[in-house]
Amino acid sequence: MEETGRAPLQKPFMETELDANSRFLFKLFRRYYRGFKPDMPDRFTKKEYGFIPFGKTMQRHMAFTSPEDLKTFMFSKVPAHSYYSTAYYRHPSRPLMEDKEWMGAELIFDLDADHLAGAEKMTYAQMMVQIRKEMISLVDDFLYSDLGFDEKQVHICFSGGRGYHAHIRSNDIYTLGTNERRELVDYVSCMGLDMDSVFPLHTDILGASSVGNGMVRSSVRTFRLIPSAEEGGWKLKMREALKLICKNIAEEDPKHIKAIYPSVNSGIPTLEKLSAHLRKCSEEMFRTNSMSALSTSEQDILIKALNDVAPTLSSEVDKPVTPDIKRLIRLPGSLHGKTGLRVTPITRDQLTDYDPLQSAVPDCFTADPIKVTMSRDMSLYMKDEEISLSGETEVPEYAAAFLVGRKYASYGWESQRRDKLF
């Protein structure tokens, strides 16, 4: 019989072991887990579970045989962070990985806002808007379109922190190995995209003429081919990117072109000449699917611009996560210890305008005023309320959980700091 995570209803440690901030979050989390209704993972009895208690290190190699067992454990232990394995195991609770007997794994794509360019200058709300756009692109442009998964196979989840997860559940992918999964990461992140393969060189021999003494000279023309509109994947993406580049070069000031496409180091006169040329021939280029109307140097300019554009069309997935066939990932329905927000499964339609500061706040967190001391001045729009925050102030309980979890604030007022909280 497998060892399970069943635990008696008792405090896992003395709450006084925690600092004031952790004690405050612990009490809120315990209230949440009292009424917790587990959103059980697929084939949940074959999953490994792991938990990080407040003030403790991770406890893992656990298994549960029923939702009731999991609920009992969560209320008893009140974890700050809860995880389950993307893998399915024959014996998930065995402590040695080689003894678990791996059976397969979900395919996971993880997008986290800390990978965004300029994330350190964004507010939490700004990060979540941008990472939502990235997730929409991943799902629509890659998972649904290029890779051919349908909505029933793609399960989207707000991570509770700063990002989203896409869980792919399909018999076709469960037994994929690390290398195959890494190839999928390379595909969606534009790793190794070869422009010479997308826009291959083609040579035409235009004719031959006699030059005397029995010698014949051939006329040769070399140019790049353009993927047709019937292509898919990166070829179609690059065709559409080339259309936009041609339009920009034809219409924009050459100085602006050099700013948009940093790899284009041609002089202004060269760009002006290309601009005039594209206004005449770009329509013909895409009708014939070739760059034959352009000189070699003009074609090179477009390829340089394409190399600048390609990474912007990729998805900023967390590259180590997807190939890891034994990964632990956030447990749906659990709370995130650094935000107080719920790890929430959502549909693709819900993702379109999903705002975790409105939708992932636990219902049991109240609007009762809580004293906090801000670490810096800021404003927060949460639960349809705009809150200006500075110094020692009072905020709704649900906002206090987020602010304390994110370390934007400390529980209580510095001027009234005391050892006991309640």
What is the helix (H) or strand (E) element at residue 262, kind and residue range?
A: none
- Same domain? For 299 and 159 the reply is no
Cα dihedral across residues 374, 375, 378, 384: positive or negative: negative
- What is the three-class DSSP state of 201? strand
Query: Does residue 174 lie within any of the structural domains?
Result: yes
Listed in sequence order, the residues at least 6 apart from 98 whose beta carbon sits closer than 8 Å to its beta carbon are none
- Does some domain include residue 159? yes
Domain identity same for 309 and 237? yes
Is 10 a member of any domain?
no
Reading the block at residue 19, the tokens are 């600092």
Q: Alpha helix locations (H) across 310-371? A: 348-351, 356-359
| Number of Cβ within a 10 Å radius of residue 310 | 17
Q: Which pLDDT score, from 0 to 100, does residue 270 have? A: 95
Pair 406, 418 in one domain: yes
What length is written for the chain?
A: 422
Q: Are residues 224 and 239 in the same domain?
A: yes
Catalytic one among 112, 308, 355, 363?
112
Tokens of 3: 């060892």
- 370 in the same domain as 347: no
Statement to judge: residues 171 and 309 lie in one domain: no
By DSSP bridging, strand 49-53 and strand 409-411 are: unpaired
Q: Do the Cβ atoms of 377 and 338 come closer than 8 Å?
A: no
Q: What is the pLDDT of residue 204?
A: 80
Q: Which of 328, 347, 363 is the last residue of a domain?
A: 363
Within a domain: residue 6? Answer: no
Give me the mean pLDDT over the 15-29 stretch.
90
Annotation marks residue 112 as catalytic: yes
Tell me, yes or no, whether 135 and 249 share the same domain: no
Tally of structural domains, the chain: 3
What pLDDT band is residue 220 in, cutting at 50, 70 and 90?
Answer: confident
342 shares a domain with 309: no
State the chain's mean pLDDT as an integer.
92
Buried b (16+ CB within 10 A) or exposed e, 71-85: bbbbbbbbbbbbbbb
The catalytic position among 39, 300, 318, 355 is 318
Distance CA 191, CA 345 (A): 29
At residue 8 the predicted structure's pLDDT band, cuts being 50, 70 and 90, is very low
Whether residue 56 sits in one domain with residue 112 = yes
Q: What is the structure's pLDDT at 377?
A: 96
Domain extent at residue 60: 15-187+317-363
Looking at the structure, tell me whether residues 95 and 151 fall in a common domain: yes
Question: Catalytic one among 42, 110, 172, 363?
Answer: 110
Residue 163 shares a structural domain with residue 238: no
CATH of the domain at 420: 3.40.5
Q: Is 5 part of any domain?
A: no
pTM value? 0.88
pLDDT of residue 38: 86
pLDDT at 149 over 70: yes
Percent of the chain with pLDDT strictly greater than 70: 91
The average pLDDT across 103-131 equals 94
Phi, psi for residue 215 in degrees, rounded to 5 = -90, 145
Q: What is the pLDDT of residue 414?
A: 84
Residues 309 and 332 grouped into a single domain: no
Tens-digit pLDDT profile for residues 85-116: 999 999 999 999 999 999 999 999 999 998 88
What are the pLDDT digits (tens) for 319-340? 999 999 999 999 999 999 999 9
Please report, for the domain that includes residue 103, its CATH number. Answer: 3.90.920.10
- Within 13 Å, how many C-alpha atoms sit on residue 91's CB side? 11
CB-CB contact of 70 with 64 (8 Å)? yes
What tens digit of pLDDT does each residue of 26-69 get? 999 999 999 998 889 999 999 999 999 998 899 999 999 999 99
Q: Over range 6-21, report the average pLDDT.
A: 61
Domain boundary among 363, 384, 400: 363
For residue 6, the model assigns a pLDDT of 44
Residue 110's alpha-carbon distances to 133, 239, 323, 328, in angstroms, are 14, 28, 11, 12
- Model confidence over 351-376: pLDDT tens digits? 999 999 999 999 999 999 999 999 99
Active site residue 19: no
The alpha-helical segments, DSSP class H, found in 7-96 are 20-34, 67-77
With respect to residue 7, please indicate whether it lies within any of the assigned structural domains.
Answer: no
Query: Catalytic site residue 349?
Result: no
In a domain, 8, yes or no: no
Q: What is the pLDDT of residue 219?
A: 66
Domain membership of residue 216 (yes or no) is yes
